[in-house]
Amino acid sequence: MPLSKLNPVYIAGTGSYLPEKILSNAELEKMVDTSDEWIVSRTGIKARRIAAEHESTSDMASIAAQRALDDAGITAEEVDLIIVGTITPDMSFPATACYVQQKLGAHNAVAYDISAACSGFLYAMNIATAQIGAGLIKNALIIGAEKLSSILDWTDRNTCVLFGDGAGAAVLRPGNESTGRVHATRIGTDGRQTGILKVPNSGTATLDPEVQPVEGNATGTIYMAGREVFRHAVTAMKESALGVIADAGWKTEDVARVIPHQANLRIIDAIRERLNLPKERMFVNLDKYGNTSAAAIAIALDEANKTKSIVRGDKVVLVVFGAGLTWAAAAVEW
Ligand code: COA
């Protein structure tokens, strides 16, 4: 059912949190056989944040969430639903969202996690928008939070240079506000591609023969077939962006800002070319934070909001892609 048939939903506030420690490309040069030149030219990433040892995913998520609540001007007690998108939960259970509920004192909320890798935040937006739109709940807190540094093989140059830690959040509310209205969301999955991006030997599946012999892939760390992922990312993000633009009844040239997944500048450029949009319409902050998976779009949305890169009336497209494979997009009028 199109969102236009449901009650209107808007983004009432955003927040984010980035850990203090900055890990530069120059420091990575001392850890693996890589160079600042290689990383910048292939990915656009110059630095990433690394959480402190004592800092958990729910710690980062809770700070970002409280900032989003403050921005929305509502209290934790008013929250009906908390969804955390994460692939680096505090532990396998309870859900990280339960810890966030506890830390915020959001005791009236239902809280659970979504495992959709990088797409987790926009999967959460899709679910929360549908629930609010159907009148089942009022206020939802959606969060993307990751401590990816905990699942990286710091001897594998193919992956360790790409990722970082952080959290972002947004508050969704019912209402016909003129700013932040969610006009459309789409989510998608292709389980045939589970093999190209995964954390093998981290769960109940027997040891993964595809990965075990590969030198440099420590058990329980990210494995990625980079080129394959790149190819699928471009197609899936282009199609889901065009999908929500059509669902919202917009024209592509009217989109003021695309907030794409912050994985690789070359992926962002490829999507921009396919959407035929000028460079300045793409919001980019991956140079500072790398790929923070489910947190990336949420952090970027908050940064775009707080720095006025998106302003009232702007037609904004959020679009993401991740392991699964999963993808998602949203059309929001700021
Ligand atoms: N430093 C230096 N060299 C590196 C390196 C690093 N950090 N990582 C890989 N290389 C080397 C490879 O070993 C390879 O060497 P070889 O030719 O001797 O075998 C060479 O660089 C080229 O590797 P290739 O995989 O062809 O590079 P690429 O241009 O495809 O870029 C990625 C690699 C990972 C940056 C790119 O494929 C990518 O971004 N893919 C998508 C990843 C992604 O977005 N993942 C998250 C999705 S949510």
For the chain, list the domains and their CATH numbers: 9-179 (3.40.47.10), 182-333 (3.40.47.10)
- Amino acid (one-letter) located at 134: A
d(CA 85, CA 119): 8
Q: How far, in Å, is the centroid of ligand 1 from the Cα of 25?
A: 15
Cα 123–Cα 125–Cα 128 angle in degrees, nearest 5: 110
d(CA 137, CA 140): 8
Residue nearest to atom 26 of ligand 1 (CA): 227
**DSSP code of residue 229:** H
Please state, rounded to an integer, the average pLDDT across all residues of the chain: 95
pLDDT bin (cut points 50, 70, 90) of residue 317 is very high
Q: Tell me the percentage of the chain whose pLDDT exceeds 70.
A: 96
**Backbone region of residue 136 per phi and psi (left: phi > 0; alpha: psi in -120 to 50; beta: other values):** alpha
pLDDT bin (cut points 50, 70, 90) of residue 5 is confident
> What is the arithmetic mean of pLDDT over 303-324?
97
Residue nearest to atom 39 of ligand 1 (CA): 264
pLDDT bin (cut points 50, 70, 90) of residue 125 is very high
Q: How far, in Å, is the centroid of ligand 1 from the Cα of 267?
A: 13
Query: Of the listed 25, 126, 217, 291, which one is catalytic?
Result: 291
- Amino acid (one-letter) located at 94: P
> What is the arithmetic mean of pLDDT over 199-220?
69
- Amino acid (one-letter) located at 283: F
Per-residue confidence (pLDDT) for residue 217, from 0 to 100: 58
Query: Of the listed 118, 160, 217, 305, which one is catalytic?
Result: 118
The tens digit of pLDDT for each residue in 224-267 reads 999 999 999 999 999 999 999 999 999 999 999 999 999 999 99
β-pairing, 257-260 with 315-322?
A: parallel
Q: How far, in Å, is the centroid of ligand 1 from the Cα of 226?
A: 6
- Tell me if residue 261 is catalytic: yes
Q: Is the pLDDT of residue 214 over 50?
A: no
> What is the arithmetic mean of pLDDT over 3-28?
95
Residue nearest to atom 44 of ligand 1 (CA): 263
> What is the arithmetic mean of pLDDT over 12-36?
97
Return the best residue to mutate from 156, 223, 227 for the ligand 1 pocket (most ligand atoms within 8 A of CB): 227
Q: Which two three-digit tokens encode residue 175?
A: 């209402």
Nearby residues of 266 by Cβ (< 8 Å), 6 or more positions away: 42, 43, 44, 230
Per-residue confidence (pLDDT) for residue 302, from 0 to 100: 98
Cα distances (angstroms) measured from residue 300 to each of 136, 158, 216, 218, 333: 29, 24, 31, 30, 16
Q: How far apart are the first and last CA of the chain?
A: 23
Residue 179's CB is within 10 A of a number of other CB atoms, namely 16
> What is the arithmetic mean of pLDDT over 12-19?
98
Per-residue confidence (pLDDT) for residue 212, from 0 to 100: 53
Q: Is the pLDDT of residue 216 over 60?
A: no
| Nearest Cα to Cα of residue 61 among 193, 176, 169, 198 | 169
Q: How does DSSP assign 32-72, residue by residue? A: SS--HHHHHHHH---EEEE--TT--HHHHHHHHHHHHHHHH
- Tell me if residue 118 is catalytic: yes
Q: How far, in Å, is the centroid of ligand 1 from the Cα of 64?
A: 31
Q: 213 or 136, which is more confident?
A: 136
Residue nearest to atom 42 of ligand 1 (CA): 226
> What is the arithmetic mean of pLDDT over 190-213?
81
Q: Which residues line ligand 1 (CB under 6 A)?
A: 34, 38-39, 42-43, 118, 157-158, 161, 224, 226-227, 229-230, 233, 263-264, 267, 291, 321-322
Q: How far, in Å, is the centroid of ligand 1 from the Cα of 11?
A: 36
Q: Is the pLDDT of residue 215 over 60?
A: no
> What is the arithmetic mean of pLDDT over 108-112?
98
The pTM of the full predicted model, rounded to 2 decimals, is: 0.96
Centroid of chain to Cα 334: 19
pLDDT bin (cut points 50, 70, 90) of residue 117 is very high
> What is the arithmetic mean of pLDDT over 108-118?
98
d(CA 222, CA 218): 9
Q: Is the pLDDT of residue 174 over 90?
A: yes
Nearby residues of 174 by Cβ (< 8 Å), 6 or more positions away: 7, 8, 9, 132, 133, 135, 138
